Chains A and B, each alone.
Chain A
Amino acid sequence: AQSVTQLDSHVSVSEGTPVLLRCNYSSSYSPSLFWYVQHPNKGLQLLLKYTSAATLVKGINGFEAEFKKSETSFHLTKPSAHMSDAAEYFCVVSGNSNYQLIWGAGTKLIIKP
């Protein structure tokens, strides 16, 4: 069965410093992987996705993620954090079927001024 582990429930960084949000997945086949972001009182928005093309995926707002099959990881990074990045981030893997997405528990990103 597919599963996702987000290794940190909270990550706190200073504005202007790099961001690293860690995600490991488990899948019995080549999965599709996604990062979603949820700002307070807003819906879930797709940041980026990996669907078996380039292993380094660029998303919106300067975020990118690298698919590493050998490490079963899909960590999300950004070179320089901005105050507007403060939100909850979800790592998501495609499920057994084509329709279902399996969600990680989320990582709350806190940006210190």
Chain B
Amino acid sequence: EPEVTQTPSHQVTQMGQEVILRCVPISNHLYFYWYRQILGQKVEFLVSFYNNEISEKSEIFDDQFSVERPDGSNFTLKIRSTKLEDSAMYFCASSEALPGANTGELFFGEGSRLTVL
């Protein structure tokens, strides 16, 4: 069964360092997303990506964040200068269609836990 894979599963970094989280979405999917969950809090939308550009982003997704699909298979989230409050589980997801559509199910990876010290 096709799945979304994320690397690394856990990353520890120092405040101010750059971090890149990687995701390989399901191959025939067109829509890609990043969500995050700070420990003990709700899952929050960060960004969606379609047709090689950001289709929507939340207030959380400020200038410190960027996404890229460099080679047609990987989908990356970069945090330029990490802050303590960036510590969270980051989930990548992909879908064949928009979430409300019949084939719009989001498939999630197992997450990348980021710890900023």
Q: Which residues of A pack against B, CB within 8 Å?
A: 32, 34, 36, 41-46, 49, 51, 90, 94-95, 97-106
Contacts and interface: CB of A to CB of B under 8 A. Distances in A.
Given A41-B110, A43-B110, A44-B108, A90 B56 contact: no
A103 B91 CA distance: 13
B106 A101 contact: yes
Interface centre among B44, B45, B100, B106 (most CB of A within 10 A): B100
Contact of B105 (A41, A43, A46, A97): A46
Contacts of B56: 97, 99-100
Contacts of B98: 98-99
A45 B116 CA distance: 27
B91 A44 contact: yes
Interface in B55-75: 55-56, 58
B29 to A, nearest CB: 13
Nearest to B45: A100
Contacts of B107: 46
B106 A46 contact: yes
B108 A51 contact: no
Contact of A43 (B44, B58, B102, B108): B108
